[in-house]
Amino acid sequence: MQQRIRVTINGKPHEADVEPRLLLIHYLRDVAGLKGPHIGCETSICGACTVELDGKAVKACSMFAVQADGREVLTVEGLAANGTLHPVQEAFWNEHALQCGYCTPGMIMAAKQLLARNPNPTDSEVRRGLEGNLCRCTGYQHIVNAVRAAASGMGD
């Protein structure tokens, strides 16, 4: 059995017939062709699949695509505008906040959400805010530095 869903992804409408058991992360990657959101654990632990759903960060492996029907999804691909990186992306670049980059799309989406809630976080608030996102390269201090740098840049 398939179900037709309509989802706005990065501002563009997407429509597809999907099985009700299809996870949102598989829909984004395999149906919509967006490989930015990554798959790590598929059990809502690692955060590699983090995207925004109607403006709130969610782990795309923890919900079904049909639950996104009629809603808006933002992935890391939708952050840059007119060739200009989002301030969080820019800060990750400048602060060397990635090694292999596997966790990075999820980290950036979670960091964006964290800064929307708390525009001027301390180191420990950043660490607490990102505790749902794991980096196996363990470059956490650079990630914290990047989020704080993004915070000061966005406050200019």
Residues that bind ligand FES (CB under 6 A): 39-42, 44-49, 59, 61, 98-104, 135-137, 139
Residue whose CB is less far from ligand FES, 17 or 30: 30
Amino acid symbol at 129: G
Task: In angstroms, give the least distance from the CB of 68 to ligand FES.
Answer: 15
Residue whose CB is less far from ligand FES, 2 or 53: 53
Task: In angstroms, give the least distance from the CB of 54 to ligand FES.
Answer: 18
Q: Where are the beta strands (DSSP E) in the chain?
A: 3-9, 12-18, 50-53, 56-59, 72-74
Report CA torsion sign: 112, 125, 147, 43: negative
Q: How many CB atoms are located within 10 Å of the residue 83 CB?
A: 5
Residue whose CB is less far from ligand FES, 40 or 121: 40
